[in-house]
């Protein structure tokens, strides 16, 4: 089993997107009530497409109303907030009907007779709608590293088709950043190794100093920022040059105290579960690195135990890891378990503040 199915297995149900599930339920009605007639396939497919498009158009209007009431300071009064209470903030409009028609031309969702619109279909349509909405104002694009730009634990390949696309963004004046949990402190060479194929691509295409200066790497979730130099090497940027007190107000002493708690909890997991593993301490993280393969349940137990210990230590056992004085991430990494100080949301916000890119001009 690949690592992407091993990651935070017992947390997956808590990470389901309620908006997508709501849309999925809405689309199920025309799929069930209007089955395909074998004698008029083309007509039925078009009718189905129009029904699906109408639903996406209605949801688009619900989002518009929600955004208007959010600006008025009363987002909970929107119909969408009542239908999906956990709904968040929309920084742009979402042209969902146009996005559906665009995706449907390729994927023929409306032609399917046995498989209704799925979670992945809807996520793809939402992504397309976001790209359509943000493209004219786009200033910053951020990406995860492992399992997004390259395989888990691997390096960015020289022949990756993503190289051409990332270079195109940089040439068009858009800032590009990789925000990754991988934490190697201030050691630029370790990040250069992971991104070697991409950096060689920059050199091969002879990007200008101005263009490569738009490329950033933020490691350890939000703790170690690097920028690409004219020689296609990464340069560490000291956090005194960019860190906002409102985003990272904690002190090093507080960080180390929190990591002490996490280290002690991971050590207890090693003892309690009989795990053969090493506890590895870094400046802004602590991890459990096993000497033999662990089950995903064991790794989840370590992650959840660490999370609860850190929440209790900050006096907030019922809170989320992002809502405590010192935010953190405790996660099953597929083959190991890590606790990082901060999170990628803070990382993206740091980049937005540094570059001057508002949320409505940022895509992650």
Active-site entry in 37, 121, 144, 323: 144
Cα 41 → chain centroid: 39
Angle at 98 between CA 97 and CA 104, to 5 degrees: 90
Round to whole Å and give the CA distance between 342 and 285: 10
CA angle 342, 347, 349 (to 5 degrees): 120
Say which of 121, 146, 300, 340 is annotated catalytic.
146
Instruction: Judge residue 43's burial from the number of C-beta atoms within 10 Å of its C-beta, 0-12 exposed, 13-18 middle, 19 or more buried.
Output: exposed
144 tagged catalytic: yes
CA pseudo-torsion sign 321, 327, 332, 333:
positive
Answer for the pair 152, 3: CB distance below 8 angstroms, yes or no. yes
300 is catalytic: no
In the numeric block, the tokens 């239908």 are attached to 83
For residue 40, what is the DSSP state?
Answer: G
CA of 66: how far to CAs of 29, 55, 92, in Å? 24, 17, 11
Q: 142, 351 in Cβ contact below 8 A? A: yes
Q: Which ranges of the chain does DSSP label H, i.e. alpha helix?
A: 18-33, 41-71, 79-83, 96-107, 119-134, 162-171, 188-194, 196-204, 209-212, 252-273, 296-313, 344-355
The residues carrying an active-site annotation are: 144, 146
């Amino acid at each position: 089993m690949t690592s992407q199915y091993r990651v935070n297995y017992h947390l997956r149900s808590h990470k389901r997107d309620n908006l997508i599930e709501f849309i999925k339920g809405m689309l199920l009605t025309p799929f069930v009530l209007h089955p395909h007639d074998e004698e008029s396939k083309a007509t039925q497919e078009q009718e189905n497409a129009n029904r699906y498009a109408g639903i996406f158009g209605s949801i688009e209007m619900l989002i518009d109303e929600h955004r208007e009431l959010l600006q008025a300071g009363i987002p909970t009064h929107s119909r969408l907030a009542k239908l999906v209470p956990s709904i968040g903030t929309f920084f742009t409009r979402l042209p969902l009907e146009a996005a559906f028609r665009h995706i449907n031309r390729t994927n023929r969702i409306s032609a399917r007779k046995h498989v209704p619109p799925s979670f992945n279909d809807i996520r793809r349509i939402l992504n397309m709608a976001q790209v359509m909405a943000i493209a004219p104002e786009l200033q910053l694009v951020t990406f995860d590293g492992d399992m997004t730009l390259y395989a888990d634990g691997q390096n960015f390949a020289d022949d990756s088709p993503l190289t051409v696309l990332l270079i195109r963004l940089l040439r068009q004046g858009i800032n590009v950043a990789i925000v990754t949990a991988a934490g190697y402190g201030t050691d630029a060479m370790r990040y250069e190794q992971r991104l070697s194929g991409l950096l060689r691509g920059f050199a091969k295409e002879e990007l200008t100093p101005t263009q490569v200066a738009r490329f950033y790497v933020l490691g350890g979730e939000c703790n170690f920022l690097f920028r690409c130099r004219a020689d296609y090497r990464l340069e560490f940027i000291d956090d005194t040059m960019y860190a906002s007190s409102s985003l990272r107000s904690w002190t090093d002493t507080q960080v180390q105290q929190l990591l002490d708690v996490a280290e002690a909890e991971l050590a207890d997991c090693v003892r309690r579960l009989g795990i053969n593993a090493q506890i590895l301490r870094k400046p802004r993280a602590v991890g459990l690195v096993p000497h033999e393969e662990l089950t995903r349940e064991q790794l989840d137990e370590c992650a959840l135990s660490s999370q609860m210990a850190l929440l209790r230590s900050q006096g907030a056992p019922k809170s989320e890891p992002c809502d405590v004085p010192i935010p953190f991430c405790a996660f099953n990494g597929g083959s190991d378990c890590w606790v990082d100080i901060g999170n990628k949301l803070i990382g993206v916000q740091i980049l937005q503040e540094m570059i001057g890119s508002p949320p409505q001009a940022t895509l992650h």
